Amino acid sequence: MTSIWHRIRGRREAPLTCIELVELVTAYLEDGLDDAERRRFDDHIGDCPACTNYLDQFRQTIAIAGRLEAEDLSEDARSELLAAFRGWARGPATGQ
């Protein structure tokens, strides 16, 4: 982890800054980073408590979104659909 090592490998191997990392979080979580990017991300997260917290906040945000409840179809709509299914299952639909 010396600066010489980074200089040899060039910019793509340079450590990420926090301001760069926050833009890569979704790509990271989706496995959308290439090997070099992922390594830089992991290296940074490894010793940056601030970005570790940010990554966790992102994960919590996703979990919260996953808890949002949806309204369901009305009872009427559901029974109409079921009736339609029965009609469909009985034979080739005609007159539709």
Check: CB of residue 37 under 8 Å from CB of residue 24.
Answer: yes
- Burial label for 92, CB within 10 Å (0-12, 13-18, 19+), is exposed
Nearest distance from residue 12's CB to another protein, in Å?
17
Extract the tokens encoding 96: 């539709």
Rounded Cα distance, 82 and 20, in Å: 52
Single-letter amino acid, residue 38: R
Binding site for another protein (CB under 8 A): 17-20, 22-23, 25-27, 30, 32, 49-51, 53-54, 56-58, 60-74, 77-78, 80-82, 84-86, 88-90, 93, 96
Tell me whether residue 25 or residue 43 sits nearer to another protein (CB atom): 25
Tell me whether residue 42 or residue 80 sits nearer to another protein (CB atom): 80
Nearest distance from residue 28's CB to another protein, in Å?
10
Nearest distance from residue 67's CB to another protein, in Å?
6
Closest CA to 25 of 58, 50, 70: 58
Nearest distance from residue 10's CB to another protein, in Å?
18
